[in-house]
Amino acid sequence: MRILYLVRHGESEWNEQGRIQGYLDSGLTELGREQARYVGLELAKHPIQFAATSSAVRAFDTCSIALGCFESPVPVEKTDSLREIRLGVWEGVKAADLKKDSPDQVDLWFHRPSKVRIEGGETLRAFRRRIAREMERLRAEHARETAVVFTHGGVICSYLTSLLGMKLDDLWRFKIRNGSITKILFPLGKPRIELLGDIHHLNGAVRPPGQSGIPGFSFMNTGSDQE
């Protein structure tokens, strides 16, 4: 791809409730749908030639609403491979409850996430391998196009660590909020980040920070300080 836009889905119902989502799903809130429309109005200014989306409802609906703002249809590929990390027994749990019941695990998750093993979950290494493989496939198949991928906070963070040669435990160095746009250029095949988690196009359609009780848990889509 010559230019790649990465979009995190709009606010979901579990984001609003402060629940850990991971691979599980919930629909968009009204705020999430509004964010998706603003994403579409922004992306429609650019020559998008191809779109891919996670098969999760919150990402697919964001994609559908956003691309509905375009004058001409854009080809879309829907795939399970772009879904969020599997978080096993953590999924569906309120972030505040997890912090209270498993403080050591939560602390390790933020400082050394590669060391955390969640029952029924996916390791961070396996997750990054899945995401990197899928993104490289899309880039190879659409090498001359400008594309947009609608996905999840963890997917975007993990892909950036892979793309930039960072460590697994560097996952938390990025702030990716609901409805944000990250823009990557590939001059001579080398990645260059032009926008990172940008939300200016949302025109203030964001939820106030700090409502889920655990900063940073937007990686698992709980609606925290990163929305």
> In CATH, what number is assigned to the domain containing residue 7?
3.40.50.1240
Active site residue 84: yes
Ranges of residues in the chain whose predicted pLDDT is under 70: 209-227
pLDDT value of position 221: 40
pLDDT value of position 171: 93
Q: How many structural domains compose the chain? A: 1
Asked if residue 227 is part of any domain, the answer here is: no
Asked if residue 9 is part of any domain, the answer here is: yes
Separation CA 36–CA 66 (nearest Å): 5
Among positive and negative, which fits the CA dihedral 72, 78, 84, 87?
A: positive
Range of the domain at 12: 3-220
How confident is the prediction for the chain on average, in pLDDT?
Answer: 91
Residue among 11, 34, 84, 134 flagged as catalytic: 84
pLDDT tens digits for 6-30? 999 999 999 999 999 999 999 999 9
Q: How is residue 65 written in tokens?
A: 């609403």
Active site residue 200: no
Asked if residue 22 is part of any domain, the answer here is: yes
pLDDT value of position 1: 72
Asked if residue 226 is part of any domain, the answer here is: no
Q: At what angle do helices 153-163 and 124-141 cross, to 10 degrees?
A: 80
